[in-house]
Copies of this chain bind each other. A is one copy, B any other.
Amino acid sequence: MSPPILSALLAPASVAVIGGSDRQGSVGEVVVENILAGGFAGTVFLINPRPLSVPGTTWVAQIADLPQPPDLAIVVVPAAAAPGAIAELGAAGVRVAVILSAGLTEANGLRQAVLDAARPHGLRLVGPNGLGLLAPHARLNASFARGTPLAGGLALISQSGALISGLVDWATTRQLGFSGIVSVGDMADIDLADLIDLFAADPRTDAILLYIEGVTRGARFMAAAQAAARLKPVIALKAGRNPASGRAVRSHTGALAGAYDVHACAFERAGIVQVESLTDLFDAAAVLRGGPELQGELQGERLAIVTNGGGAGILALDAMTAGTGVLADLSPQTLEQLSSALPAGWSHGNPVDLIGDAPVERYRAALDAVLADDGVDAVLVMNCPTALLDPRDIAQGVAAAVVAARGRGILKPVIACWLGDTNQDIAGPILSAAGIAMFGAPDTAIRGFGHLIAAHKAAARLSAPPAASEPRQDRPSAARALIATARAEGRSLLNEIEAKALLDAFGVSTVPTRLAATPAEVSAVCAGLAPPYAVKIVSPQIVHKSDVGGVVLNLPDAQAAVEAAEAIAARVATACPGAVITGFAVQTMVAPGRAHEVIVGLAPDPTFGPVLMVGAGGKAVEVIRDHALGLPPLNGAAALAMLARTRISRLLAGYRDEPAADIAGIVATLEALSAIATELPEVLELDINPLRVDAHGVMALDARVVISLDPAPASRLVLPA
């Protein structure tokens, strides 16, 4: 968005409230009241056909009567009047309007009507159906939010208006201030991406907080978020982790890749720090908003804990899980230094227990020692209050020690946990000034450290984005021929033979498989394959073959294979009477032996495009639910990181006398699917299940591919590198 829009929203010199009112308790009155109560210094126009005399405002009967176009318009008229008001504002030369009015829907046409009214004039819209806009540096509260936020460095962009007052309240308690708060409403025009761009460019904004229910324009959002995240922390809470019901999908990958998980995956790629609750949103802001200059720079996850209460140290350790740090091993030199500074009863390890009566000198000595240790990446300093010592003194000593360390070039982040609300309130401001974020309980402090780690990882990802493998132009051409055939026949589901040929074209090894049109033909097909055999039904109507008795394994010879095909035909005739039988896929049976069954897949997300999946496969895939998602394009390192997030990766790594499985083969398969996703937009869904994996290699035993019948499938989301 252009700079005029940024300044119109965050630093307007004049505001007009269209539909402003003096009727007690109406939205028009509450908004005007909030603007006046907030102390906005600019001109406030109140536009209402009825003459009004509200001190501090200038009444105007209609938009056309305004003496000059206001920098910002707030629209609170009834829905039906909104398009007319927008047209008049546009004609008057207004650049930005915030529509609070509800009831402008696609169904009643009013949503489109306001867009149509605004477009000829280049008028940009926030809303409709939002709570409004708050720009604390301009002392502007153009909303019906309750409470007045402090001015500060946080930008809040929320898809829920109702949450805003609560968030302002929490932030105020934590002494956190805002550069701007925008309730985006229905996002008819200005959306999350626009506002991320705006706050990324705003020099007063230190961090961007997002409450998201659903992203629109996925590629645009990703570009905006990636650009912003290179400049300042972008922290998001995504609602809908517990979807009432899944989407209608035909593939395992689609069924397993829920919208929340795909958003999480996209956020990770974009360098966004994702949190799981409203409380975490602010905790993350508290540890991240200062940036490296103030809060230090994390280089790893090794945490030293300095505490005057053993129990508090243990509880912090208890709260540490994957992604929230590992306990640092202190060097022998550090231990020696600590032993000389601390009483004999100290813990002689990490957590460093200074004993309950620890005065400030002990804290300083311990901080000096652990901050200097090369095996320590960050420090959590804890205080359990006692009547013996003043928590203020301890806080001052800790702040001084950290500032002194910064002066010596030690930029390791330090976070604090002062137990109890009073203790925290006393010490918080002292520590905050030294760039030390404060928490009131061991578990929240460790979650706070987790946000620091997440931000560190996000920054690392942005500085080294995965690149796709080199495109090989011969692959798509071979695959496109297969797809053309299926399309010509109006089939969106490739049969098993075609699906395996497509994989073959992308270098994924598949088990030899041939098609027999009838049970009788099975015998001839077996002649070209090594026994034992597996026989599976091939029918455009049958997606999950096992469920209808359409698979028979372990057939020792051709005769048994023929009989199995006959039995399958009989069962399918009963179970799916309408199914057209293309034939029977006959393949060499690969004994499971000690092999692992893995699933690798590709499915479309309506917002972010194709999504890759890897996890534990086999028939029980949806019962086991052990998988990880990733967005294409990805390289080997990103594919390996995806695999590492699954439980089955621990088995694949080998254990006891079991050798490691061919992990490189799984990675190569994921890279092949990434190539298919980027090079063949016709492929909508693809499941390889199972991918048989042992120490010697990988082999796709079964595959399902769904293609688009659209002659020109929408071009894919291409993620910015």
Contact = CB atoms under 8 A, between A and B. Distances in A.
A442 B384 contact: no
Interface string A200-236: 0000000000010100000000000000000000000
Given A161-B356, A242-B320, A308-B162, A169 B655 contact: no
B162 A421 contact: no
Interface stretch (A114-122, A309-317, A679-687, A695-703): A309-317
A162 B387 contact: no
Contacts of A345: 102
Contact of A420 (B168, B387, B421, B547): B168
Contact of A384 (B25, B163, B443): B163
Interface in A148-178: 158-163, 165-170, 172-173
Contacts of A658: 619-620
B444 A279 contact: yes
Contacts of A310: 160, 162
Nearest to A422: B169
Contacts of A169: 385, 419-423
A559 interface: no
Interface string A264-296: 000000000000111100000000000000000
A144 interface: yes
A27 interface: yes
Interface string A26-56: 0100100110000000000000000000000
Given A309-B160, A317-B242, A419 B386 contact: no
A386 B131 contact: yes
Nearest to A211: B311
Nearest to A145: B387
Given A240-B318, A312-B163, A25 B444 contact: no
A650 interface: yes
A27 B423 contact: no
Contact of A623 (B30, B242, B276, B650): B650
A489 interface: no
A655 B163 CA distance: 42
Given A314-B240, A620-B655, A386 B146 contact: yes
B619 A441 contact: no
Given A166-B384, A385-B166, A385-B169, A160 B239 contact: no
Given A160-B312, A168-B420, A278-B441, A242 B318 contact: yes
A524 interface: no
Give the interface residue-count category, chain A.
Answer: 35 or more
Contact of A547 (B160, B240, B318, B657): B657
B420 A165 contact: yes
A388 interface: yes
Contacts of A33: 387
Contacts of A620: 651, 655-656, 658
A162 B356 contact: yes
A422 B345 CA distance: 43
Interface in A285-334: 308-312, 314-315, 317-320, 327
A384 B165 contact: yes
Contact of A279 (B25, B159, B443, B623): B443
Centre residue among A161, A384, A544, A655 by max chain B CB count within 10 A: A384
A147 interface: yes
A624 interface: yes
A502 to B, nearest CB: 26
6 contacts: A145-B386, A146-B386, A162-B384, A165-B386, A242-B320, A624-B650
Given A211-B311, A619-B655, A623-B651, 15 more contacts: A25-B388, A30-B388, A34-B387, A144-B386, A162-B309, A162-B384, A166-B423, A169-B420, A242-B318, A276-B318, A278-B442, A546-B656, A547-B656, A619-B656, A624-B651
Q: Which 3 pairs of residues, A with B, have the shortest CB-CB distance?
A: A162-B309, A166-B419, A169-B420
